[in-house]
Every structure is written in C-alpha cells, then in structure tokens.
Amino acid sequence: MAVVKAKGIKVSNKDMITYVKDLSSSRYNKPSMLQHVESGRLTEIDSLNGALVSEAKALNISVPFNQALVEMVKAKEFALQQLFKEPKVDYEKLERLALQEN
C-alpha cells in the first residue's frame, strides 16, 4: 500500500488490506498462480508481485515480503522447469565415463 500511496493511486476502499483479506477468505477458488505451479507452467509472478517490487525499488520503498515471494515463486518455477522440461541427467553414466577417462 506504500507504493500505491506514493504513486498517488486512488483506491475504492479506504482499508484495502482488510477488504482483500475478507474477500480472499470468503472465496473458495484455486488461484491461477497455484494452477500454473501445479501444472509445471510458468506463473504470472513477474506481472504481479514482480511489477510491485520494481515500482517499489524505483520509489526507494522497501517491500521485503513481496521480494521474498517473487524469489520463492521463481525458485519453484525453476525447480519445476528442471523437473519437467529439462532432459534427465544420468549421473551414474557420467561417473562411469569419467572413470573410464582416468
């Protein structure tokens, strides 16, 4: 909310934090970002929290929780990409080849 205030953005509710918390707890849906993670796809983290982190940095505002969230989701994305997209590494074969060369 510090970024919103610093940018002069007007919000429709005076207490947006409570509003979002109340809204989130009253809905029973699966967020799209979770759906992406579960299916091994890249998320929209850069467009959401990543954009907020960039704006905060430009305004010299600290947003450590948002920064941590971006980093955790990107780490999860990377791990899933390695698991599902990258070819499997046969470490035993590599070890055998290395031993043969010596």
The pLDDT tens digits of the residues spanning 26-80 come to: 777 788 899 998 888 899 999 999 999 999 999 999 999 999 999 999 999 888 8
* Coil vs helix vs strand at 8: coil
Give the helix ranges, DSSP H, for the chain.
2-6, 16-25, 32-38, 51-58, 64-84, 91-101
What is the predicted pLDDT for the residue at 24?
A: 81
pLDDT above 70 for 15: yes
- Three-class secondary structure of residue 47 per DSSP: helix
pLDDT at 102 over 70: no
Can you tell me whether residue 61 is helix, strand or coil? coil
pLDDT at 51: 96
CATH fold for the domain made of 2-101 = N-(1-d-carboxylethyl)-l-norvaline Dehydrogenase; domain 2 (1.10.1040)
